[in-house]
Each structure stands twice: as structure tokens, then as C-alpha cells.
Structure 1
Amino acid sequence: MNSEEMIQKIQELKQVKEDLLAQIRKTIVGQDEVIDKVLIGLFANGHMLIEGVPGLAKTLLISTIAKALNLTFGRIQFTPDLMPSDITGSDILVTSRDSERREFQYIKGPIFANLILADEINRTPPKTQAALLQAMQEYQVSSGNTTRPLDLPFIVMATQNPIEQEGTYPLPEAQLDRFMLYINIDYPSYEEELTIVQNTTGVPQEEPLPLLSAEKILQYQAAIRTMPVSQHILEYAVKLARSTRPGTPESRPEITKWINWGAGPRASQYLVLAAKARAALNGRLTPAEEDIRSVALPVLTHRVLVSFAAEAEGIKPSDIIKQLLS
């Protein structure tokens, strides 16, 4: 994509964002910050981990966005007995109609969609969680001796419940690192909850209209990748990620004493990509320091492992990131 096409697409994106928000708000009340983060992840082509207590419309939000973007949508409810083949699909033995000959036929799993909702991902064992790893990183699925490409864009939006941890399987660090953003959904305000109850206990609300297509979204993602970034912003992103690692020149001992492991190089990449997407969605042609700071919390929170001493004092990874930004 040349610079003229990139500029045109970025200029379009601000209006596209407004149109998308108008459609999403037909169904979703409030949660503006959450919706902004989800749109950043979508246009930066990054997977997202969404955490919140039951009943906060996590599933509804994702399915509503899929409708507004006009993407194919696959929902996988993770349970303790879910098998990898239930996600990726499997070969089954079928008999052809014309003859009695039997042959194996591949039946695609729900992962063959543009937008995947992995509901309560921490309720299934690591073996099944790992079935998502190859798809999330390589955009393809292996079954037997055959590797099949996934339709693009391919984005996984996983949800998990922060309460009821009995019988759950925390995500391995390697898989956590593949999520670009960690998004926490909190309770709505009094006014928002009043509107939610009013809207959902009366006449069914209007459905969101499909505005985009997979092809259009790929074009916007390519434009965001093409955006120029100043050396200063690149250095700022890398220094911020490195400041979470104990023992580096960029770290602050009074803060990193609470950290066992800091964010890896993927965090630096995602800081820049998410900042590009945020700038583009606001109609700007290059990201600023403000964009890096704005996306730092969702990019870094799940990549910082706090020490036992920090846990004992109730210090969370988000508290550490906020201190680093201040």
C-alpha cells in the first residue's frame, strides 16, 4: 500500500469508527472505554482477553461487534470435557452416496470464522487451550497430516470470569503473551444500569446494521501497518516495556522489586501497533506518546508477573504499570 492510499484509508477510519459506535450502541449501553479498546484490537489485528464478572454483556458485546463489522462469527463454550478436535474440527468416516466406498472427510470446527468468541477459556484443560495457540500465532490449523489456512481477518476474543476459580485452569504464560490486549469490564454506573434494564425488559431493540466486510477490514489493517512512526515513539515504547524487567538499565528498583518477570519483546511490538490503531481511529496519521500511554495498561498488565511480596501487599500488575507511567 502506497502513502496516498494509506492516508485515504486513515482519513476514512475516523468516520468508520463513528458509524460503528452508532450501531454498537443500539445494543450496548455505556462501556465506551471497553468498546474503544476492542476496536483498537480489531483494527490492529490483535487477539483480546476480556475479563469480568457474569452478566456484564461480554458475550453480547463481541457478537454485536461481529454483526456491525459483517464478519463470520464462531462461539466456543469452553468446558472441562472440551477436546481440541471440538475446536479445530476432525476427520470423520463417511460413505459416499453413489457407492459403498468409505473415505475420511474433514469437518471444520468453529475456529473457521473471522471472529472467535472463546467463552470462559480458563474452564478447559491446557491441552484444549493449546489448540488455539497455533491458530492465534500462525493463522492456520493442523489436523492429521494436513495444515489448513484460516480466513482472514482472524481474531480471538477470549473471556474469563475472575470469580469462581475452583475447577479452572489458568492460562499458560506463553498463551497469555499471544493476546495483544487484556480488557477488564467493570460494573455499569447507576444511570447506565437503569437504561440497560429499561431497554432489555421491554420491546426488543433494533439490531446493528452490517457496515464493513472482511476485505475492507484487511485494507484498514494494512493501512495501519503502513503508518509511519517516529524514532522517539519507537524508543519510548521499547523503554516502557523494558522498564517492567528487573535488572535492565530502564527499570526502577523501587518498582521492579514487586516484579518476578517483566514483559517480553512482543509487548514492545504490541504497544506500537495498538498506538498506531488508536491514532488511526482518531484520524491521525502517526501515533504520539499519548497513544502509547493510553494502550500501555491493556498491553502490559497480563505480561507482568508480580512477586509473592507484592501479592501479600495487594499490589496488582495494573498498579505497577500505573506507577511506571507516572
Structure 2
Amino acid sequence: MNDEATGAPEASDGADPDVVEAATEPSVVLGDESIEQLNSAYLKIREQLGRVIVGQDAVIEQLLIALFSRGHCMLEGVPGLAKTLMISTLSRSLSMSFARIQFTPDLMPSDITGTDVLQENRETGERTFRFIEGPLFHEVILADEINRTPPKTQAALLEAMQERQVTVGRDRHELSDPFFVLATQNP
């Protein structure tokens, strides 16, 4: 049942009606100028990608929708459909860093997240761990053939995609913002 005045669900379970109403309202309201700027940026990027990638307009549109909505994308297709070229062109057109990760059966989670390396200070002899970032610390990632890699490595990628962070040992490391993953798999 909805409240006739606001269209919000009635709080029949004892919930505060103000909280229910607030939860149904959009959290971000864009003005006409912001919408126009977003549309203009979308059209420019789509045009730049269309110069390089021919005949993939629907794929480009879906890719940009995922990017603008802070989501990720998965493409399934045979080799040779310009997936790498598409995502690298996207990253260049937006001046974003790019990494391609070829997922193989022997790829380990630390190969994509990074790892702690033991370093010794030559002057004091003190040993400390230093984190070396993996390819997930780029802004745009092409995760190629994700279906070929072990579940632990897939889980590390999924953590990065969902939480926008990676966990190495006991430490959590925040990823860049924006962070966009285009995953591919062959049929």
C-alpha cells in the first residue's frame, strides 16, 4: 500500500514514515546544466570511440552507460572483436590509466592485487614490508578471459569491483576513483 500524498509505502510495520519517505527520494538531483554537460561529455566520448571502433555502436553505448553509472562491464565474444582496442581507446580519450590483465590458469590473486615485499634499510639493518601495487591500481582495467583463472583470483577481482579496494594480508588498500573493469570471456 502507498501513502496517497507522497506515493511512498505506508509504515504499517511501526517504521518511522519520515524515514520511509526519505528512502524513496533520489539521493542526487541534477540540474539542467549538469545533465547537459553529462550528455555533451557522453557524445564526445562516443564520437571519439566511434572513430576507432567501427560497427560496435551498441557495445560502445553499453560500455559508456556502465562507466557513467560507476559499474563494470562483461563482454563475451570470440577473439578479434577489438575489445582491447576499445577499452584502451576509452582510457586514452578520458586521460585515465589503463592495464590489461590476461587471466590464465596459473594467475594468483597477488599477481593482480599487488604484494608486500620485505625491504632492508642498508644503514640501520631494519627490515620492513613495503606494498607494491598490482595492475588493479589503474583506473581502467581490461580483465581478459576471466573464465580461465582460478576462483581465488576471480574473488580478488570481484572484491576490487564491488568494494573498490583490495585486501592483501591484513591491510586494505583503496583503489582509484574512477575505477572501471571491462571483463571478457570467450564462449
Q: Name the TM-score, length of structure 2 as normaliser.
A: 0.80
Q: Per the alignment, in what secondary structure is the counterpart of residue 92 of structure 2?
A: helix
Where does residue 111 of structure 2 map in the other structure? 86
Where does residue 133 of structure 1 map in the other structure? 158
Matches of 2:123 and 2:45, distance apart in 1? 49
Q: Per the alignment, in what secondary structure is the counterpart of residue 31 of structure 2?
A: helix
Question: What is the Cα deviation at residue 97 of structure 1?
Answer: 4.5
Q: Which one of the candidate residues 93, 99, 104 is aligned to 1:74? A: 99
Question: What is the Cα deviation at residue 59 of structure 1?
Answer: 1.0
Sort the Cα spacing of 1:141 and 1:2 in 2 relative to 1 into closer, same or farther, 3 A: closer
Where does residue 54 of structure 1 map in the other structure? 79
Q: Which one of the candidate residues 31, 36, 45 is aligned to 1:20? A: 45
Q: Tell whether 2:159 aligns with 1:96.
A: no
Q: How many residue pairs get matched?
A: 161
Q: Tell whether 2:65 aligns with 1:40.
A: yes
8 A contact 1:89–1:106 mirrored in 2: yes
Q: Per the alignment, in what secondary structure is the counterpart of residue 136 of structure 1?
A: helix
- The amino acid across from 1:88 in the alignment is T
Where does residue 117 of structure 1 map in the other structure? 142
Q: Tell whether 2:181 aligns with 1:156.
A: yes
8 A contact 2:50–2:57 mirrored in 1: no
Where does residue 13 of structure 2 map in the other structure? none
8 A contact 1:79–1:124 mirrored in 2: yes
Matches of 2:123 and 2:50, distance apart in 1? 52
- The amino acid across from 2:66 in the alignment is G
Question: What is the Cα deviation at residue 150 of structure 1?
Answer: 1.0
Matches of 2:69 and 2:156, distance apart in 1? 23
> Which segments of 5 or more consecutive residues in structure 2 lack a partner in the other structure?
1-26
- The amino acid across from 2:138 in the alignment is A
- The amino acid across from 1:110 in the alignment is P
Matches of 2:73 and 2:91, distance apart in 1? 14
Question: What is the Cα deviation at residue 22 of structure 1?
Answer: 2.5
- Alpha-carbon displacement from aligned partner over 1:254-282 (angstroms, at most 9, x marks no partner): xxxxxxxxxxxxxxxxxxxxxxxxxxxxx
Where does residue 147 of structure 1 map in the other structure? 172
Q: Per the alignment, in what secondary structure is the counterpart of residue 26 of structure 1?
A: helix
Q: Per the alignment, in what secondary structure is the counterpart of residue 70 of structure 2?
A: coil
Q: Name the TM-score, length of structure 1 as normaliser.
A: 0.47
Q: Per the alignment, in what secondary structure is the counterpart of residue 157 of structure 1?
A: strand
Q: Identity over the aligned pairs, expressed in percent?
A: 55
- The amino acid across from 1:158 in the alignment is A
Matches of 1:76 and 1:134, distance apart in 2? 16
Where does residue 33 of structure 2 map in the other structure? 8
Question: What is the Cα deviation at residue 30 of structure 1?
Answer: 1.7
Question: What is the Cα deviation at residue 2 of structure 1?
Answer: 7.0
User: Whose helix fraction is larger, Structure 1's or Structure 2's?
Assistant: 1
Aligned-residue Cα RMSD (Å) equals: 1.6
8 A contact 2:117–2:129 mirrored in 1: yes
The structure with higher relative contact order (CA 8 Å, sep 6+) is: 1
8 A contact 1:89–1:110 mirrored in 2: yes
